[in-house]
Structure 1
Amino acid sequence: MSNPDSALPASLLLARLRSGHSSSPRLTWYGPEGERVELSGRVLDNWVAKTSNLLQDELDAEPGQRLLVDIPAHWKSVVWSLAGWQLGMEVVIPDGGTLPVADVAVTADPATAPDAPAVVAVALPALAMKWPGELPRGVIDFASEVRSHGDVFMAHSDANPAAAALDTGTAAYSHAELVEGFGEPQTEGVRLLVRAGDGLGPALAKALGAWEADGSVVLVHPDVAVTEKLLAAERVTDAGAHQAD
């Protein structure tokens, strides 16, 4: 049984997202071809719980194992990172060189999938119910598998807050350091614009900081123009270091 005193900061953060103001938007995604996905705190937690259960129950993932997230900044790569942290895994973000060694790898391009004991293919379109086409032997289809997993996550074993939580290739953080060390502090209640083109690491740092401040994130694909109309429609209160296009 899980010990509440060993709860990880990421798990505590998710607990707050699914409780207070749980129906408020917490992560809004703008993708190509007019795609817009809005996840409330409750819905975001639900996706993370299902993904954590897939990791734990189907892939036998455990605290301390390495989870390679080889997906660009996207709402699904954010979900996978949170799921790994909730389970007590070390999330590994590729730095552009050779893909690092991991126990579980998730990828948007299974044709170039890394050599890992478990590989998961993630179709990025929001409405994808399965991977479009054939998958290499042994590769798991996230879209078709995740929905069968439970909406509530219960860890089979405790994770160590001092254990590694993130490896960006240039920096590393423990679970205890994740929210307040890696996360970028934000103004209370911020509605923060995050550019996906800046990379998954920066997107996660900004998102953790915004959620810790009881705020929300608008994550925008590089092909989407950030116009004054978009900023006004989303009620963005902080457009970050960039100016609107």
Structure 2
Amino acid sequence: MNATDRTPADLLRSALAADPGRPLVTFYDDATGERVELSVATFANWVAKTANLLQGDLGAEPGDRLALLLPAHWQTAVWLLAAASVGVVVEVGGDPAGADLVVSGPDTLDAAAACPGERVALALRPLGGRFPQPPAGFMDYAVEVPGQGDRFAPFVPVGADDAGLVVDGEELSYGALVERARGEGDGSRVLSGLGYDTWAGLSAGLFAPLATGGSVVLCRHLDQLSEAGLAQRVDAERVTRVV
């Protein structure tokens, strides 16, 4: 990655320029058997589409607060980078009632309904599938995102000093986030079973690999995998570090 990269969006642009075809996020859900692999190019395309949805259809602006009620999932990683591309502050597990918009999985819809602003729901089904019946009062992400543009340009440039992420009770600017992630990554192919509700999980499961030219095998419901199954996955995915 370039030393001049100062925001998560910068990191993604550099990764795309360096090697668009390499794997960036490989996702497993051991409760469903799902496996999804996203190259840098595919991940960046999802980010661009989601950022266009966020900025265009949802009218989000820099400094707006987004309550993120999602587990560790490849689509959560997309939302984190999309919000950073627009300049929206992500509050991990934030209070929907005090947020400008909320992004929720299927298990937190009741809490998310307290948001007075825009509400987006993700079914988190295999292959990014939609809800069989859209939740009342929510936009179904899987319905709306495919038609969005493949290129994104923010209306307002996002700076390193802008607030970017609230996690573990701490607010990080984009620049602080990038520097912290750089210090915690080493270019490894990391297997992470940590949730996205803490900085440790976000760093290992997305930001540190992105900041240091690595990649992540992100595992949900990893406790349902046997020790032999985990060893097989580590070998098959050429994992160099497990957290």
| Alpha-carbon spacing, 1:128–1:163, altered in 2? closer, same or farther (3 Å) | closer
For the 8 Å contact 1:64–1:159, the answer to whether it is kept is no
Question: Could you tell me which residue of structure 2 aligns to residue 143 of structure 1?
Answer: 142
Establish whether residue 230 from structure 1 lines up as the match of residue 237 from structure 2: no
Write out per-residue CA displacement over residues 117-171 of structure 1, whole angstroms, 9 at most, x where no aligned residue: 100001101324422224113x111000000101111111123432211111421
Question: Could you tell me which residue of structure 1 aligns to residue 121 of structure 2?
Answer: 121
Aligned equivalents of 2:196, 2:62: Cα separation in 1: 29
Say which structure is richer in helix: 2
- Structure 1, 204-213 or 83-92: larger mean CA deviation: 204-213
Establish whether residue 112 from structure 1 lines up as the match of residue 97 from structure 2: no
Q: Which runs of 4+ in 1 moved over 3 A?
A: 196-201
| Alpha-carbon spacing, 1:182–1:104, altered in 2? closer, same or farther (3 Å) | farther
| Alpha-carbon spacing, 1:128–1:26, altered in 2? closer, same or farther (3 Å) | closer
Give the 5 Å matches for 1:1-245. Answer: 9-31=7-29, 32-94=31-93, 99=96, 101-109=98-106, 110-113=109-112, 114-137=114-137, 139-181=138-180, 185-188=184-187, 190-197=188-195, 199=197, 201-206=199-204, 207-223=206-222, 224-225=224-225, 227-240=230-243
Deviation at 1:100, TM superposition (A): 6.0
For the 8 Å contact 1:56–1:62, the answer to whether it is kept is yes
Write out per-residue CA displacement over residues 161-214 of structure 1, whole angstroms, 9 at most, x where no aligned residue: 3221111142110111111125652223x1001114474543321221112111
For the 8 Å contact 1:94–1:169, the answer to whether it is kept is no
Write out per-residue CA displacement over residues 33-80 of structure 1, whole angstroms, 9 at most, x where no aligned residue: 210000000001001110000000100001111111101111111111
Identity over the aligned pairs, expressed in percent?
33
Aligned equivalents of 2:97, 2:200: Cα separation in 1: 19
TM-score normalised according to structure 2 size: 0.87
TM-score normalised according to structure 1 size: 0.87
